Amino acid sequence: MIINNIYTNKLMKIKFKKAIIRFFIYLFLSYLWFYFSYLFIRYRPSPYYDNLKELYYKIKKKPTFDLTINEKRSFNATKIITIKNVYDLEVKREKLKNFIYGEKKLIDLKNLKIEKNIKDKVFNGLNNLDRIDKLIYEMESGINSISYHFKPLNKKNKLIIIHEGNRGNYYSKKELGNFSNSKKEINYFLKKGFDVFALSLPLQGINNRPEVYVKNIGIIKLDKTFKLKFLDQTYKSHFIRYFLEPIEALTDYAKNYFDFENISMVGISSGGWVTMLSSATNENIQFSFSVAGSLPLSLQNSDIGNSKVFFEQIDPSFYKEFNYLDLYLLSSTTTKNKYFTQIFNKHDSVRFNGERYKLYEKDVKKIVKYFGYGNFEIYIDENNYEHKISRRTLDYIFKKINL
- Looking at residue 380, the DSSP 8-state letter turns out to be E
pLDDT of residue 50: 55
- Average pLDDT across the chain, whole number: 87
Indicate whether 376 belongs to any domain: yes
Query: Residue 270: what are its φ and ψ, rounded to 5°?
Result: -60, -30
pLDDT score at 127: 93
Query: How many structural domains compose the chain?
Result: 2
Report the chain's C-alpha Rg in angstroms.
25
Instruction: Identify whether residues 358 and 322 lie together within a single domain.
Output: yes
Residue 48 lies in a domain: no
Instruction: Note whether 233 and 113 are same-domain residues.
Output: yes
Kindly report, residue by residue over 49-68, the tens digit of the pLDDT.
555 555 555 555 555 666 66
Per-residue pLDDT tens digits for 98-150: 999 998 767 899 999 999 999 998 899 899 999 999 999 999 999 999 999 99
Question: Is there a contact between 150 and 124 (Cβ–Cβ < 8 Å)?
Answer: no
Q: Residue 321: what residue type?
A: E
How many degrees, rounded to 5, is the angle at CA 361 between CA 355 and CA 362? 125
- In a domain, residue 385? The reply is yes
**CATH number where 78 lies:** 3.40.50.1820
- Whether 175 is in a domain gets the answer yes
Q: What pTM value is reported for the model? A: 0.84
11 lies in which domain range? 2-42
* Cβ 195 vs Cβ 155: under 8 Å: yes
Q: What percent of the chain has pLDDT over 70?
A: 83
